[in-house]
Amino acid sequence: MRIISVNVNGIQAAAQRGLLSWLQAQNADVICLQDTSASALELDDPAYQLDGYFLYACDAEIPEQGGVALYSRLQPKAVITGLGFETADRYGRYLQADFDKVSIASLLVPSGHGGDANLNHKLKFMDEFAHYLDKQRRKRREYIYCGSLYVAHQKLDVKNWRDCQQDPGFLAPERAWLDEIFGNMGYIDALREVNREGDLFSWWPDTEQAEMLNLGWRFDYQILTSGLRRFVRSARLPRQPRFSQHAPLIVDYDWTLSL
């Protein structure tokens, strides 16, 4: 099973850069997109369909403020939109597809950039989502959360980490949030399960210098329930081609989707 997750920073612009033709060639079973900045109605357009895939979308009240989508080769048993709290559901931040023994979700966390109000909104979302994840551990199924989290977890997840400790995305409370998820809650960081190398980033500031010097941050994850740990086979963050400020995260699993 191959799962691709990518924050597209607006699906229209990403499609113009060749996203959909690239995705069509990747032989993925499930593709999760974040920050589509499009309504579910807009995504019904044939321009956004992939041959052989079912497409599901969850939009924000104001489409440009968020939105997630999911392509699946296998039609899910059920599709769930929303998390039941305002910081998620007003902004189209969550979409989940249920299969036989596993659920796969596309998740968009607020970036927290742009001032204290935005950072506080992000921290509120993170607190509410942590409570949700804690409850999910009691379910008798496996979960894969394909999340654009806008948090770099460890020092090796951000270039020049010493200079970034006061920046949203690498603040102590944000990193402690991931410590809780990957520590006490027992969830798995799919990439780090198979690759401990540094300089593996998924987002870069939109400057020529950042690109040239690889001044990146790892903001994008596939978060797994513990039962999936042994099924992670490989994970990679290809820098090229890129269709937004984010690189795709491609994870292969020794698992087969079924209904």
Report domain extents, the chain.
2-253
CB 51 within 8 A of CB 27: no
Amino acid (one-letter) located at 237 = L
Q: What angle do CA 159, 161, 165 make, to 5 degrees?
A: 140
| 197 Cβ neighbours under 8 A, 6+ residues apart | 156
Q: In the CATH scheme, what is the code of domain 2-253?
A: 3.60.10.10
Please spell the DSSP secondary structure of 66-134, one letter per residue.
Answer: --EEEEESSPPSEEEE--SSHHHHTTT-EEEEE-SSEEEEEEE-----SSHHHHHHHHHHHHHHHHHHH
What tens digit of pLDDT does each residue of 192-209 get?
Answer: 999 999 899 999 998 888
What tens digit of pLDDT does each residue of 233-256 get?
Answer: 999 999 999 999 999 999 999 999
The values of phi and psi at residue 246, to 5°, are -105, 145
CA dist 252 and 144 (Å) reads 12
Counting Cα atoms < 13 Å in the Cβ hemisphere of 129 gives 25
CB atoms within 10 A of CB 15: 18
CA dist 227 and 137 (Å) reads 11
Band the pLDDT of 153: cuts 50, 70, 90.
very high
CB 50 within 8 A of CB 23: yes
Predicted TM-score (pTM) of the model is: 0.96
Average pLDDT, the chain: 95
- Whether 258 shows a pLDDT value over 90: the answer reads no
- Whether 259 shows a pLDDT value over 80: the answer reads no
What tens digit of pLDDT does each residue of 223-233 get?
Answer: 999 999 999 99
Scanning the chain, the segments in alpha helix (DSSP H) are 11-16, 19-24, 86-89, 116-136, 172-182, 190-194, 208-213
Q: What is the mean pLDDT of residues 149-154?
A: 97
- Whether 211 shows a pLDDT value over 90: the answer reads no
What tens digit of pLDDT does each residue of 22-64 get?
Answer: 999 999 999 999 999 999 999 999 999 999 999 999 999 999 9
Question: Strand, coil or helix: what is 148?
Answer: strand
